[in-house]
Each structure stands twice: as structure tokens, then as C-alpha cells.
Structure 1
Amino acid sequence: MEFHFYAFLVSAVVTLVVGFIWYNPKVFGTIWMRENNLTQEELRKGNMLKIFGLTYIFSLMISTTLLSLTIHQSGAVGMIGGPPMIASAKPSFAAFMADYGTAFRTFKHGALHGFMSGLFFAFPLIGINGLFERKSWKYIFVHAGFWIVSLTLMGGIICAFV
């Protein structure tokens, strides 16, 4: 199982690209600003380098988790002790990987797992926080929708190309 580092780095850019589109005032940005009581002027005061830089780092962390959720072969590699142990693994591991090393390694399969991660993990987290913060359902759905779309695309990229 090869690891394509550049595809992994690209998968983390997805949150920034989707965010630029999703939170644009012509898409959901106006709703998002209204639900957070923010104005364009307040948003311009933020440290964009810090915000985008940390967003990318956090997205890399998410991509690491999605790797395990979307690529089933990572479980087999984990069972032998990780990538450093591949060379010393038993012949049965090599036979398994020869038969199943590329099984379910498609964009579509990864997107499915990314979508399920968004729907069954991100949405409930955002929903719980939103309920306790007394946020509206619009707020919850705007953020949950962003994460469902982002995780779907990230999962697809990771599964197909990493």
C-alpha cells in the first residue's frame, strides 16, 4: 500500500476551498453572518493568516483520521505493527495485500465514508454544541452541511489517491 503524500496534503485544502464557496455571501455566508451576529467589518478584522493556517493544520489532522476510516487496508497494516513492519510481516500479509490491496480504493467509496463521517459524527457534534449555545437550526445546518460536503470530498480524495 503506497502512501501518496501530496494527495494527502491536497485533501486538507478541501476545507479551505469548500469554505470559500460555502460561506460566500451569495451561498450561505449571509445566513452564517446573521446567525452569528457578525458584520463584514468585524470579519475583516480577523488575522487571516492565523485563521487559514490553523484551519489547514486542523484539516491535516482530520485527513489523518479519514485515512483510517476510508482505506480499509490500513487496518491490515495496523495489525502487523504499522508501515515499518511490512518488510518483516508474515507471508500471509503479502498474500492478503496482493488479493485485496486495492479493493474499495475509489473516490466513490471514500466519498461514502466521508459522507457518513459528516452525517453521523460532525453533524451530531455541531448539533450538540449548537443546542447548548442556544443557536438556531439554521446555524446548525449551515455548519453541518459544510462539514458533510467537506468530509465527503476529503474522503473521496484520500481513498482514491493517497
Structure 2
Amino acid sequence: MSDFALWPVLAGTLAFFAVGALWYGVIFAVPWQRAAGLSNTQLREGNMGLIFALTFAFEMLIAMVLWHLIARTDPAPHVVMMMALGFAAGVMIPAIGINYLYLRKPLSLFLIDAGHFLVGMAAMGGVFVWFRG
């Protein structure tokens, strides 16, 4: 398996991005907006094209790193999922938790965002398992 493969990385990125679209656009749109303290006007003021493009780029970087680790270690499918979820639970979620503590963000925002990272990484891990199958 190559250290970098475009299609699995792209598919993993798309899976994570799709989870975010559902998470913040449908499932938790109102609670997230309330917890983030953003008005409808503030949400409309952002450059959504740039925000989505950068989100996709960051998620692709995450996918590239995870795929590289998987390619270098050749783990069993259940270990791929453990790596994806472990990265979310052991690195990403604590990092935003630390940031939110200093920003004095509410617990509800942390839980919504942490859930997004956990489910998004599970989706990415599932895609990677499928590509390796």
C-alpha cells in the first residue's frame, strides 16, 4: 500500500466533510449556533466559500496523515478504526478542549464540536477500512 493514495484520502475527506454538513447544517444547527453565540447576521457575513475550502483542506491534511500512518503500519481493520477514533479522542478533542477552556466557551459547544470530530473520524476510518478491503 502506498504512503499516499489520492482516492482513499479524497474519499475519507469527503466522508468527514459530509458528516460536518449534516452535523452543523441539520442535526445541531440551532444548538451549535446558540452555543457559539452567533447571530443569523454573523453567519451570513462569513465568506462561506473560503470557510468550506479551508475546512476541506484541513480535513484532507488529517486524512493524509491518518492514511500515511495506516500505510506505514498495515493494521487490521479494527485497528484502523481504533487509530481513527483514538486520534479524535486522544488528540483532536483534547486540543479543542484546551482551546475552549481559555476562550471560556460553553460545555455545550465543546460537546457538539467534540462529537463532530469523533463521528467524522469514524466515518473517515470506515472509508479507509473499505478502501483497504
**Normalised by the size of structure 2, how large is the TM-score?**
0.85
Structure 1 equivalent of residue 112 of structure 2 = 142
Superposed CA RMSD in Å reads: 2.0
**CA displacement at 1:159 relative to structure 2:** 4.0
> Which 5+ residue runs of structure 2 have no aligned equivalent?
none
Q: CA deviation at 1:135?
A: 0.9
Alignment of 1:1-12 (within 5 A): 1-2=1-2, 4-12=5-13
Aligned-partner Cα distance in 2 for 1:39–1:13:
28
Letter in 1 for 2:113: H
1:1-162 alignment, distance < 5 Å: 1-2=1-2, 4-24=5-25, 26-69=26-69, 71=70, 73-75=71-73, 104=76, 106=77, 108-161=78-131
Residues in 1 aligned to 2:31 and 2:40: alpha-carbon distance in whole angstroms: 12
Per-residue deviation, residues 15-65 of structure 1 (Å, max 9, x unmatched): 3211111112x5212111111111223212221211111111111110111
For these two proteins, the number of residue pairs brought into alignment is: 131
Q: Aligned partners of 1:156, 1:74: CA distance in 2, in Å?
A: 18
Tell me the amino acid that sits aligned with residue 10 of structure 1.
Answer: A
Structure 1 unaligned segments of length 5 or more: list them: 76-100
Q: Distance in 1 between matches of 2:5 and 2:66?
A: 14
* Separation of aligned partners in 2, 1:152 and 1:15: 8
Q: Which has the higher contact order (CA 8 A, sep 6+)?
A: 2
SS of the aligned residue for 2:28 comes to helix
1:116-162 superposed Cα distances (whole Å, 9 cap, x missing partner): 11111111111111111111111111111100111111122224416
**Code of the aligned partner of 1:123:** I
